[in-house]
């Protein structure tokens, strides 16, 4: 036990040292004119309310900074956008952010995402309240969230080994001073119905906020069904003005059929036909069942007006039983492929995370420093047993299962006119295999200093420098004896930047960031499926401008250049690291309130993502799979207050360009544009505030390919009409 938790003791010793150092620096600062400096504290509940804009960033080393002062591309999807669009998944929220696409799997179970063509690693890139890495292999709930952020690009300085796609941060609702109690019901025209209770308040030094959700899941796809439940609690203890203790707990459960996807080959010369969006060639019994628990604790002690020490720790734990199915060797002409399904029970993912850091502000002559010094440790365990082949043509048993499902022994099934299969469940239990039980230990020590000077607010020029020293290990368990260390490194990552702010409402910046990333596991189609390849590094250059022409309306423009290790399925069907990939692009956004009654969220991305320096010369110069050259979205809400008090309408358009289905670029799924339309009406009944909402997604019934990568293709879901009714009792 002592060995298991010795890193926590190490972080504690680091914290004591940090506190002592901070106390000494604070005493020195208070002895002169510097005593007027105050470390600004931003709580997310203090951000703009009922707005499409957001002042502050809640992720990374820029946590608490204003967007206009943050020298990176950040997409903040605030609560008002989530409410207006009735967002129910991470993809629902982030479709407002350019460069976000679904990858490989059907997005109806959970959202397997890429940003700018770079995978968003499901174990390290998703964060709760800017800290805890949560496992994104289940639909992450939004009912208890006030915002979703995408901090795009490399983020190794603060988060360690993560892919340079970006950090997806979910910020939870906090306890309020006044009591809150609301009851909501939502559903859709396919039969989905869910209930939601949100309640909380503050009593003395204790604040509590709880959320409960339960209901059915129905996307309108044939032979699918499901249910989900969610419980969360946010607790805040404030013993004094300078001490705050937070505890966030959430439990997520979801059981839903995973629709069958199509698996092409590099020799395939044509795309599948776009038939009915409700078609599913799989069985209702191909279920994906997952349970997850996230716990995050945080203690913040502001021991002087200018200095604060923060300690955070938590765990994210997920267990999953999965039935993944595909039509392999799919023939786009006949619409037929071999139905295969692998069952894997007992998948286990666990993240343990600890962090302690000292933040403060002080001056050296004319330069004002905003210093952050910290240490963190993240332990990620993954047990992913090999799938138990249950349906297919591998052996007599799997062929017999095809016959039991109503197919011939060759297991051929049509995607265009599928045979309706019975609801049969298959056992996915396999013996424990220690070679599939892997872990990552990522320990880091980091420092970040923002030095600002000049101008009336001492921020005409800001120079940013940062460094992180990592101790990184990858291990694999053995049947007996200690684990085998499969990879280790002790890299030093640097970052630097310059921000020029000639006026309070405009800034220009340039940054350089070195990234560190764990390589995602090999895809299921690979001969080395699930294998974890060695970690690698990346480099990112970015420059841009941010302009706030009026309060609450922000325009951003940024050019980025990212170079990282290239990973792909080679000609022998092995997932390999080989060569470098480059991502260069221009990203634009305009978000906020155009007028008091009109809110806007618009964004666009123009991307050039290329493969290079590979052993397979045929790949050099090809486009990175699942990347569109252009992508844009525009959505807005108009409040008709002058006509009818409480009435609002909203609309959106979302475009994604053509994407390659594999590194060989043999085929491209075509681009598509989806249109949404909705409205809301706020009113009172018996003194109780009520809000009714309705949103129609894909109102034109567009048929499209939602996901692709590694020769997989998944169809887009059918059009859907979502509705909800909320009663704000107090």
Do residues 317 and 133 make contact, with C-beta atoms less than 8 angstroms apart? no
Token pair of 581, please?
């990939």
As a whole number of angstroms, the distance between CA 494 and CA 239 comes to 38
Cα separation, 540 vs 455, in Å, equals 29
User: Can you say whether the dihedral through the CA atoms of 478, 443, 76, 147 is positive or negative?
Assistant: positive
The pLDDT score that the predictor gives to residue 31 is 40
pLDDT band (50, 70, 90) for residue 525: low
Residue 196: name the closest of 219, 177, 173 by CA: 173
Instruction: Characterize the bridge pairing of strands 166-172 and 688-697.
Output: unpaired
Query: Parallel, antiparallel, or unpaired for β 126-128 and 132-133?
Result: antiparallel
Tens of pLDDT, residues 62-94: 777 889 999 999 999 999 999 999 999 999 999
Q: Rounded CA gap, 539 and 121, in Å?
A: 17
Is the model's pLDDT at 612 over the cut of 90?
no
Look up tokens 């203890």; give the residue.
237
- Burial code (b: 16+ CB inside 10 Å, e: under 16) for 655-687 equals bbbbbbbbbbbbbbbebbebebebbbebeeeee
Residue 6 above 80 pLDDT?
Answer: no
| pLDDT tens track for 138-192 | 999 999 999 999 999 888 888 988 989 999 999 999 999 999 999 999 999 999 9
Judged against a pLDDT cut of 60, whether residue 54 lies above it is answered with: yes
Least confident interval from 59-68, 297-306, 372-381, 428-437: 59-68
Q: pLDDT tens across 543-552, in order? A: 999 999 999 9
Residue 194: exposed, middle, or buried by beta-carbon count in 10 A (0-12, 13-18, 19+)? buried
- pLDDT in the model for residue 553: 95
**CA pair distance 178, 729, nearest whole angstrom:** 12
How many Cα atoms within 13 Å fall on the side-chain side of residue 131? Answer: 27
CA distances from residue 45 to 50, 78, 241, 712 in whole angstroms, order as listed: 11, 11, 17, 42
If we measure between CA atoms, which residue out of 716, 714, 677 comes closest to residue 697?
A: 677
Q: How far apart are alpha carbons 7 and 26 in whole angstroms?
A: 28
Task: Residue 352: name the closest of 427, 293, 304, 396 by CA.
Answer: 293
List CB contacts of 605: < 8 A, sequence separation 6 or more: 98, 99, 116, 585, 586, 587, 588, 630, 631, 632
Backbone φ, ψ for residue 289 (5° rounding): -120, 125
Q: Which residue has the higher pLDDT, 60 or 221?
A: 221
The span from the CA of 559 to the CA of 550, in Å, is: 24
- State the Rg of the chain over Cα: 26
**Burial of 5 (C-beta count, 10 Å sphere; 0-12/13-18/19+):** exposed
CB 100 within 8 Å of CB 118:
no
Q: CB–CB of 305/360 below 8 Å?
A: no
Work out whether strand 492-503 and strand 461-476 pair parallel, antiparallel, or are unpaired: antiparallel
Query: pLDDT band at residue 539, thresholds of 50, 70 and 90?
Result: very high
What pLDDT shows up at residue 22? 45
The predicted structure's pLDDT at residue 20 = 43
The dihedrals phi and psi of 560, each to the nearest 5 degrees, come to -130, 155
Spatial separation of the C-alpha atoms in residues 311 and 303, rounded to whole Å: 14
Does the pLDDT at position 291 exceed 90?
yes
* pLDDT tens-digit map of 631-680: 999 999 999 988 999 999 999 999 999 999 999 999 999 999 999 999 99
Lowest-pLDDT choice from 3-7, 128-132, 662-666: 3-7
Return the minimum-mean-pLDDT range out of 6-20, 125-139, 149-163, 317-331. Answer: 6-20
- pLDDT for residue 30: 46
Q: What percent of the chain has pLDDT over 90?
A: 77
pTM confidence score: 0.92
Q: What is the pLDDT of residues 468-493, one digit of tens each?
A: 999 999 999 999 989 999 889 999 99
List, in sequence order, every residue forming a beta bridge with 593; answer none if it has no partner. 599
Strand partners, 150: 75, 168
The pLDDT value given to residue 41: 59
Classify strands 118-119 and 113-115 as parallel, antiparallel or unpaired.
antiparallel
Q: How many CA atoms lie within 13 A of 682 on its CB side?
A: 11
Instruction: For the chain, give the mean pLDDT.
Output: 90
Determine the topology of domain 6-728 in CATH: Maltoporin; Chain A (2.40.170)
- pLDDT, tens only, 455-465: 888 899 999 99
pLDDT score for 43: 52
Among 153, 117, 20, which Cα is nearest to 495's?
153
For 421-552, list the strands marked E by DSSP: 437-453, 461-476, 484-489, 492-503, 506-517, 536-550
Contact call for residues 604 and 687 (beta carbons, < 8 A): no
- 106 vs 118: CA distance, rounded Å: 18
CA distance 194 to 230: 11
Residue 453: pLDDT band with limits 50, 70, 90: very high
What is the sign of the dihedral through the CA atoms of 139, 145, 151 and 154?
Answer: negative
**Residue 466 has what pLDDT?**
96
Judge whether residue 24 has pLDDT over 60. Answer: no
Which of 717, 714, 719, 726 lies closest to 272 in space, CA to CA? 714
Q: What is the pLDDT of residue 7?
A: 44
Amino acid 433: pLDDT = 93
> Strand ranges (DSSP E) for 596-671?
598-612, 630-639, 647-656, 659-660, 668-669
Find the mean pLDDT for residues 495-513: 95
| Mean predicted confidence (pLDDT) in 245-266 | 96
Higher pLDDT among residues 240 and 517, named by residue = 240
The answer to whether residue 338 scores a pLDDT higher than 70 is yes
The answer, yes or no, to whether residue 26 has pLDDT greater than 80, is no
Q: Average pLDDT of 252-259?
A: 96
Question: How far lies 22's CA from each of 40, 356, 373, 394, in Å?
Answer: 16, 13, 10, 64
DSSP structure class, residue 436: G
Residue entry with tokens 């890139």 = 125
In the chain, pLDDT over 70 holds for what percent of residues? 93
> DSSP string spanning 459-494?
-SEEEEEEEEEEEEEEEE--SSSSPEEEEEE--EEE
563: nearest Cα among 104, 117, 113, 72: 117
Distance CA(67)–CA(505), nearest Å, equals 11
Which tokens in the block code for residue 427? Answer: 């056992």
Looking at residue 16, its pLDDT comes to 42
Q: What are the distances in angstroms from CA 253 to CA 123, 147, 385, 607?
A: 18, 21, 21, 37
Beta carbons of 98 and 604 less than 8 angstroms apart:
yes
Question: Mean per-residue pLDDT for 332-354?
Answer: 96
Q: 66-91 burial by CB neighbour count: b if 16+ within 10 A, else e?
A: bbbbbbbbbbbbbbbbbbbbbbbbbb
């Amino acid at each position: 036990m002592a060995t298991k938790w010795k890193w926590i003791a190490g972080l504690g010793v680091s914290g004591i040292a940090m506190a002592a150092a901070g106390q000494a620096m604070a005493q020195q600062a208070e002895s002169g004119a510097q005593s007027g400096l105050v470390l600004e504290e931003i709580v997310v509940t203090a951000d703009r309310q009922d707005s499409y804009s957001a002042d502050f960033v809640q992720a990374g080393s820029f946590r608490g900074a204003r967007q206009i002062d943050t020298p990176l591309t950040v997409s903040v999807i605030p609560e008002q956008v989530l409410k207006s669009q009735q967002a129910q998944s991470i993809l629902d929220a982030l479709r407002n952010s350019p460069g976000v696409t679904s990858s490989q799997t059907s997005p109806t179970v959970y959202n397997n995402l890429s940003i700018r063509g770079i995978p968003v690693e499901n174990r390290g890139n998703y964060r709760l309240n800017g800290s805890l890495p949560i496992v994104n292999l289940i639909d992450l709930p939004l009912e208890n969230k006030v915002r979703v952020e995408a901090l795009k690009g490399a983020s190794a300085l603060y988060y360690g080994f993560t892919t340079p796609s970006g950090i997806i941060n979910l910020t939870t609702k906090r306890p309020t001073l006044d009591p809150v109690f609301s009851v909501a019901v939502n559903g859709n025209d396919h039969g989905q119905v869910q209930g939601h209770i949100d309640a909380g308040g503050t009593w003395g030094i204790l604040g509590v906020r709880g959320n409960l959700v339960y209901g059915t899941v129905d996307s309108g796809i044939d032979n699918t069904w499901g249910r989900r439940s969610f419980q969360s609690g946010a607790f805040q203890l404030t013993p004094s003005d300078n001490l705050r203790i937070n505890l966030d707990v959430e439990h997520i459960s979801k059981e839903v059929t995973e629709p069958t996807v199509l698996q092409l080959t590099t020799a395939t010369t044509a795309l599948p036909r776009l038939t009915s969006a409700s078609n599913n060639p799989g069985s209702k019994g191909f279920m994906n069942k997952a349970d997850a628990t996230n716990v995050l604790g945080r203690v913040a002690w502001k021991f002087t007006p200018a200095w604060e020490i923060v300690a955070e720790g938590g765990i994210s734990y997920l267990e999953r039983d999965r039935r993944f199915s595909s039509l392999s060797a799919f023939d786009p002409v006949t619409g037929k492929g071999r139905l295969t399904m692998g069952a894997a029970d007992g998948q286990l993912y666990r993240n343990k995370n600890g962090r302690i850091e000292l933040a403060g502000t002080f001056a050296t002559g004319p330069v004002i420093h905003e210093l952050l010094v910290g240490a963190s440790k993240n332990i990620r365990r993954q047990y992913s047993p090999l799938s138990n082949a249950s349906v297919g043509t591998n052996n007599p048993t799997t062929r017999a299962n095809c016959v039991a499902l109503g197919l011939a022994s060759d297991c051929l099934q049509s995607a265009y006119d599928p045979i309706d299969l019975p609801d049969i469940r298959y056992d996915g239990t396999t013996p424990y295999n220690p070679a599939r039980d892997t872990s990552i230990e990522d320990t880091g020590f980091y420092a970040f200093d923002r030095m600002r000077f000049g101008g009336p607010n001492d921020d005409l020029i800001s120079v940013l420098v940062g460094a992180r020293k990592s101790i990184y290990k990858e291990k694999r368990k053995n049947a007996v004896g200690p684990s085998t260390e499969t990879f280790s490194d002790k890299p030093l990552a640097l970052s630097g930047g310059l921000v020029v702010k000639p006026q309070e409402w405009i800034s220009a910046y340039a940054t350089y960031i070195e990234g560190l990333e764990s390589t995602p596991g090999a895809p299921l189609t690979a001969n080395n499926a699930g294998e974890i390849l060695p970690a690698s590094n990346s480099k990112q250059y970015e420059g841009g401008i941010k302009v706030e022409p009026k309060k609450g309306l922000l325009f951003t423009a940024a050019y980025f250049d990212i170079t990282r290790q290239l990973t792909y399925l080679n000609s022998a069907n092995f997932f390999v690291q080989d060569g470098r990939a480059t991502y260069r692009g221009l990203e634009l956004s305009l978000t906020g309130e155009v007028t008091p009654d009109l809110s806007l969220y618009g964004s666009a991305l123009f991307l050039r993502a290329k493969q290079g320096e590979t052993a397979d010369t045929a790949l050099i110069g090809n486009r990175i799979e699942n990347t569109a050259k252009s992508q844009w979205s525009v959505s807005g809400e108009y409040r008709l207050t002058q006509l009818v008090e409480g009435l609002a309408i909203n609309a959106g358009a979302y475009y994604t360009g053509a994407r390659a289905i594999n590194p060989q670029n043999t085929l491209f799924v075509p681009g598509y544009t989806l249109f949404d339309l909705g409205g809301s009406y706020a009113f009172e009944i018996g003194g109780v505030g009520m809000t009714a909402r309705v949103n129609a997604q894909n109102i034109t019934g567009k048929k499209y390919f939602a996901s692709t990568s590694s020769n997989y293709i998944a169809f887009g879901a059918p059009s859907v009409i979502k509705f909800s009714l909320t009663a704000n009792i107090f």
